[in-house]
Amino acid sequence: MSTTQSERLRELLEPLVRSQGLDLEEIAVDSVGRKRVLRVVVDSDSGADLDAVAEVSRALSAKLDETDAMGQGAYDLEVGTPGAERALTEHRHYVRATDRLVRFQLHEDGELVARILTVDEDGLDVEVPGVKGRKATTRRLAFADIAKARVQVEFNRKENKDMKEEEEA
- Domain-terminating residue out of 29, 48, 80: 80
Eight-state DSSP code of residue 130: P
pLDDT band at 162 (very low <50, low <70, confident <90, very high): very low
User: What would you measure as the largest C-alpha separation in the chain, in angstroms?
Assistant: 62
Nearest CA among 35, 45, 38 for reference residue 80: 38
76 within a domain of the structure (yes/no): yes
Collect all residues with Cβ–Cβ distance below 8 Å to 166 and sequence separation of at least 6.
Answer: none
Where helices occur in 76-132 by DSSP H, the ranges are 91-96
Q: What mean pLDDT comes out for the span 121-132?
A: 91
Nearest CA among 40, 25, 21 for reference residue 78: 40
- Domain-terminating residue out of 80, 107, 125: 80
Same domain, 95 and 160: yes
CATH (domain of 54): 3.30.300.70
pLDDT band at 158 (very low <50, low <70, confident <90, very high): low
CB 9 within 8 A of CB 46: no
86 within a domain of the structure (yes/no): no
C-alpha–C-alpha distance, residues 107 and 105, integer Å: 7
If one counts the domains in the chain, the total is: 2
Q: What is the rounded average pLDDT for all residues in the chain?
A: 87
Same domain, 21 and 63: yes
49 within a domain of the structure (yes/no): yes
For residue 16, pLDDT over 80 is answered with yes
The mean-pLDDT minimum among 58-62, 129-133, 141-145 falls in: 129-133
CATH (domain of 100): 2.30.30.100
E strand spans, 33-136:
35-43, 75-80, 101-106, 110-119, 123-128
C-alpha–C-alpha distance, residues 125 and 43, integer Å: 24
Chain center to CA of 99: 15
Same domain, 55 and 113: no
- Domain-terminating residue out of 58, 80, 102: 80
Same domain, 111 and 64: no
User: Can you give the residue range of the structural domain that contains 110?
Assistant: 91-168
C-alpha–C-alpha distance, residues 115 and 97, integer Å: 9
Instruction: For residue range 20-44, list pLDDT tens digits in order.
Output: 999 999 999 888 888 889 999 999 8
pLDDT band at 100 (very low <50, low <70, confident <90, very high): very high
Q: What mean pLDDT comes out for the span 84-96?
A: 89
Q: How much of the chain exceeds pLDDT 70, in percent?
A: 91
Tell me the CB-side half-sphere exposure of residue 67, using CA atoms within 13 A: 13
H or E segment and range at residue 19:
helix 5-19
pLDDT band at 157 (very low <50, low <70, confident <90, very high): low
Same domain, 73 and 114: no
For residue 48, pLDDT over 70 is answered with yes
For residue 88, pLDDT over 70 is answered with yes
